[in-house]
Chain A
Amino acid sequence: MSLPGNAMDSLSAALKCNIIPNQEYLLQGSVLDQYVEVLLHRLRGLCDNVDSGPESFHDHEICFSLRIPNTAASTPMPMSIFSLRVRRALDVSDTPYQLRYIGQQELGDKNRPTVVRSSIDMACSSTILEFLTELGCRIEFEYIARGYMFRKGRMKITVSKIFKMGGNKPESVEPISQSYLVELSVLAPSGQDAIGEDMRIFAEQLRPLVQLEKIDYKRLGNIM
């Protein structure tokens, strides 16, 4: 057995070789409740291996943020915010918590078919909530997502309903809107832009039921 190298060294080596999937390619859209059955039906036809029916999920997500007031006036942003998402499955037992860092959307050129953003995904033990709180994080918001997921090759399609957390009880949740969120995403090492084209073609096949588009969060922020 070879000498075990320093973990950090091997990590940076892996980063250099671009084998860590840290880029998320994403398209989003929504579908009204009454058409979701049609969409699911179509997805069953399009996706891999749905002979046993679509896989359902029921997750709880909490978004934490770590922020410090930036005293230096030279930086453009007044605050530096670092947000982390913790997600756990409510329907499947003994699954790990998922900790997720999602970076800013890459500016890139307009011709890119999908949103590309950096993403660090990791499974972690259940102490994560306590750990983040101790770390100085604050809970920003939380929600419940319930729906179905599909896969087509490397692509993952989730059709989910978002629920507001009503109080502390998990049963007293209420849906946020009359529609389902549809996401088409691929997690890949950076530089694999070809996958964006595949995603665009796949998204075409779901039209006009769902318009999967790259959504510019900054613009959304401006609207709100």
Chain B
Amino acid sequence: MERDIEQLNAALNAIKVLRSNVRSVFESVSNGLRADHGDEGKETKFIYELQELLTTVNNNLRDVENAVANLTPQAGPFSLGNTTYLSQETTQERQALYGQLVNSYKWTDKIREYSAVAGNILAANSFNKTYKTYSTAKRRKTTTSNHNVAPEVIENLISSIDRLFPDVTFTPNRPLVPNPIIQVSLGRVLKAIIAFKGLMIEWVVVKAHAESNDLWTESRYRVFKRITENCHAAMCHFHSPLMPELAVRSFMHWFHSYITLFSAPCKRCGNHLNSNLPPTWRDFRSLEPYHEECK
């Protein structure tokens, strides 16, 4: 596209140059013999001049031809419809119409664009009051279970999330194949042991790195106990029966924000500590840190 425009410009320039040179040819022809030709052999001088001018015109013409040859021709006729006749309009007051036409064209173009975007957004946040769809076409989609999923699907999901966060290490451990238990280490801050049921997060426990990997014993530290509870709340919040993968993904995204658990101060009070705990709450949307009391 860029190149096309450049070439078009070059061609237009070449035409301009050709025009001005043709003009100078006619000028010198119309002027005829001038005083600066001198007396001696003024005809030959004039002819020389004319010849020179004509060769430049010739060269310019070749340039124009080259430039035009470089241009990619428009596919098919470029129809402007009835607007083509506007260019032939001679009355003064109607010559402005073309500009207005272009403006209105731009308008409609934008409207199309915006409505497409709005349509997408509206489709995403539908006013459906229920997830249950009664049309047969869609039913097949909804009946896929999130509880009973092929292990590869979960495997793929986990590894794709793993790739998403470089500072998080995932260690899957699957005693029960369709329901893996993964260990998620968040940098050197903490680790979580997450049990899945199919694509649904079923249990989370957050601990310090030095603690055991047992799924049922909670951490000895208050911070991690608190975060465990918040993880359960987040599990509730992000739960989405229709888009289980999205639920897991957004949960992980939210969970990842705990990487700043000890270093980030509370967004509201600006302190690190409140009742001897760092900000243990992370907002579900903005992922900003808050104390339990400040949220």
Is any CB of A less than 8 Å from a CB of B in the complex? no
B interface residues with partner A (beta carbon < 8 Å): none
> B-contacting residues of A (Cβ < 8 Å)?
none
